[in-house]
């Protein structure tokens, strides 16, 4: 019998290693022939550790499993969920980027190939650079890191630039609270990111790649490093890739705890060994990026989606989605939510469906008050706007920001003034210091919100004015978007900004 137990760090944080150890001991005591395969997570974090057993007629899921459940699990008396594919949260998904995550052993290249891996790369090898770039453009893929810039256009700029050396840089500095898709794919299906980067290299003429991976993700760092080593050993990376006479090599670079390094120009400075301060644009990184060379900087999910686009064709991918948001979005349902996890689906699902139907409301059982969409720089959206469809332009029209598609749910105990203050405080802690609106504005923002908290109503127009200055005058999204959470909190939840005043009166 085969047991599939996740080695994803969220599953481990909830006891997956203990369960694996208990299975090993129990199987040994019973003299059972058990193979334990460590996988990524299926993304249903509320069911983790989620164990799947295959007794010869398909995988059946159980979870959350504790060490104490292991004897019953092996006896076959533990209540389960049946096949994972039948769990409603999973059944409703369209898994393209995450098709293999949680299914395969992340470090088994043969298993990766058995599940469609390297098909895309083999196809790309037979295409010209221009054809590769056109395929990405036709797929409609837009940067999944938050900005939503068309990936094909970025690649075309780098392809057309002439330089002795070009680079592919993967932005794996996933610092936004409420997001974990990058971590999940790197821990659960690292070869798909590697394959995507190789295809990018072939497309734009780059031979060297870097994954800038945040230090807060030690498990992802270990898995990526091992996957790169294996891919190189087996000829899928390095010299003469899959016998094509083409080369591309890559390595992981570990960040050092600076949130602003998720901004692409700051990331490039950090990669060069400098302080992670933002660069003015232009020049675009596509023309003058890492070490002044033309550089593709793409998010993990953008690059990890490339293989499936080449495997199934651009049109297949573009057929999903709505408007100018094509393909699938990897929603991350987080915070105070009953069923949290990763949900990959075509663009266009509404916020209400995600939070109430899929997420099952709050974990605490209290009513939902707000959902922050798009990380610490995203707006707080009130329940009244839950009919908003999740697409880049669609959310923008409602004063929101899809960003990296993280959704953080809050129940009615949340104090929105406190969250607005936190947004300013976070900006002050993480500001790179280069531009004044962000560096000074965030500090003044904390002070101004404290004045409002003390009942000073005159400080409210001051805060609005300050936010306008930060939006218009900041060099990057850190100072420029911090007003999103602050102003959305103020506009949608004015009562939270008035209580102190009323009490004082």
Partner 1 sequence: MPQTTSIPTDAEIDAILAEHKHREGPLLPMLHALQAEFGYIPTAAIARISHLLNMTKAEVHGVVSFYHDFRERPAGHHVVKICRAEACQAVGGDALAEETLAKLGLDWHATTPNGALTVEPVYCLGMCACGPAAMVDDKVVGRLDAARMARILTEAGA
Residues at the contact surface with partner 1, assessed by CB under 8 A: 9-10, 12-14, 45-46, 48, 174-180, 182-184, 208, 215-219, 253-259, 270-277, 290-291, 332-337, 340-341, 363-364, 372, 376, 406, 408-411, 414, 419, 422, 426, 429-430, 432
- The total of other beta-carbon atoms located within 10 Å of residue 302's CB is 24
Residue placing its CB nearer to partner 1 in the complex, 118 or 373: 373
- Min separation Cβ 112 and partner 1, Å: 23
Measured CA to CA in angstroms, residue 156 lies from 72, 130, 293, 311 at distances of 56, 8, 15, 21
Residue placing its CB nearer to partner 1 in the complex, 180 or 392: 180
What DSSP element (H or E) covers 296? Answer: strand 295-299
DSSP three-state, residue 372: strand
CB neighbour list of residue 348: distance below 8 Å, 6 or more residues apart: 321, 322, 325, 389, 390, 391, 394
- Min separation Cβ 46 and partner 1, Å: 7
- For 87, counting Cβ atoms within 10 Å of its Cβ (0-12 exposed, 13-18 middle, 19+ buried), the class is middle
- Min separation Cβ 419 and partner 1, Å: 7
- Min separation Cβ 78 and partner 1, Å: 21
Pairing relation of β-strands 59-62 and 51-54?
antiparallel
Helices (H), 360-458: 392-396, 416-430, 436-453
Residue placing its CB nearer to partner 1 in the complex, 241 or 337: 337
Residue placing its CB nearer to partner 1 in the complex, 140 or 445: 445
Residue placing its CB nearer to partner 1 in the complex, 93 or 151: 93
- Min separation Cβ 270 and partner 1, Å: 7
Residue placing its CB nearer to partner 1 in the complex, 121 or 250: 250
- Min separation Cβ 363 and partner 1, Å: 6
- Min separation Cβ 111 and partner 1, Å: 24
CB neighbour list of residue 263: distance below 8 Å, 6 or more residues apart: 278, 476, 477, 478
Residue 6, strand partner residues: 39
Measured CA to CA in angstroms, residue 101 lies from 40, 87, 97 at distances of 6, 16, 9
Measured CA to CA in angstroms, residue 202 lies from 40, 190, 293 at distances of 28, 19, 16
Residue placing its CB nearer to partner 1 in the complex, 332 or 448: 332
- Is the Cβ–Cβ distance between 334 and 182 less than 8 Å? no
């Amino acid at each position: 019998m085969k047991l599939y137990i996740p080695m994803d760090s969220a599953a481990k944080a909830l006891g997956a290693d203990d369960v694996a150890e208990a299975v090993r001991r129990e199987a040994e005591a019973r003299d059972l022939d058990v193979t334990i395969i460590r996988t990524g997570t299926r993304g249903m974090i509320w069911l983790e550790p989620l164990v799947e057993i295959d007794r010869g007629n398909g995988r059946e899921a159980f979870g959350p499993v504790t060490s104490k459940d292991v004897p019953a699990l092996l006896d076959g008396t533990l209540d389960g969920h049946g096949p994972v594919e039948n769990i409603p949260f999973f059944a409703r998904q369209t898994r393209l980027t995450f098709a293999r995550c949680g299914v395969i052993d992340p470090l088994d290249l043969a298993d990766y190939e058995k599940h469609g891996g390297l098909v895309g790369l083999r196809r790309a090898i037979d295409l010209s650079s221009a054809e590769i770039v056109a395929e990405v453009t036709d797929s409609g893929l837009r940067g999944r890191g938050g900005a939503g810039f068309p990936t094909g256009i970025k690649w075309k700029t780098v392809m057309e630039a002439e330089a002795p050396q070009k680079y592919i840089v993967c932005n794996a500095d996933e610092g936004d609270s409420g997001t974990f898709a990058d971590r999940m794919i790197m821990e659960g299906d690292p070869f798909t990111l590697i394959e995507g980067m190789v295809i990018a290299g072939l497309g734009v003429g780059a031979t060297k790649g870097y994954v800038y991976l945040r230090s807060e993700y030690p498990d992802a760092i270990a898995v990526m490093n091992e996957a790169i080593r294996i891919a190189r050993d087996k000829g899928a990376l390095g010299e003469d890739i899959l016998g094509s006479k083409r080369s591309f090599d890559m390595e992981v670079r570990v960040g050092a705890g600076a949130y602003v390094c998720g901004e692409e120009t700051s990331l490039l400075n950090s990669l060069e060994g400098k302080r992670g301060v933002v660069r003015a644009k232009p020049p675009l990184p596509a023309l003058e990026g890492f070490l002044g060379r033309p550089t593709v900087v793409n998010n993990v999910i953008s690059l990890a989606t490339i293989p499936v686009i080449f495997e199934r064709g651009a049109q297949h991918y573009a057929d999903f989605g709505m408007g100018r948001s094509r393909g699938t979005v990897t929603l991350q349902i987080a915070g105070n939510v009953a069923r949290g996890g990763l949900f990959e689906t075509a663009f266009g699902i509404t916020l209400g469906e995600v939070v109430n139907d899929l997420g099952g409301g709050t974990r605490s059982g209290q009513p939902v008050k707000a959902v922050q969409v798009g990380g610490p720089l995203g707006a707080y959206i009130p329940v009244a706007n839950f009919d908003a469809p999740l697409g880049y332009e669609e959310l923008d029209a409602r004063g929101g920001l899809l960003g990296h598609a993280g959704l953080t749910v809050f129940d009615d105990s949340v104090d929105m003034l406190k969250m607005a203050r936190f947004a300013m405080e976070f900006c002050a802690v993480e500001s790179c210091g280069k531009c004044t609106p962000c560096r000074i504005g965030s500090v003044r923002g904390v002070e101004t919100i404290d004045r409002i908290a003390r009942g000073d109503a005159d400080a409210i127009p001051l805060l609005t004015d300050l936010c306008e200055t930060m939006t218009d005058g900041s060099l990057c999204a850190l100072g420029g978007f911090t007003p999103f959470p602050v102003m959305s909190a103020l506009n949608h939840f004015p009562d939270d900004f008035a209580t102190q005043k009323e009490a004082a009166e």
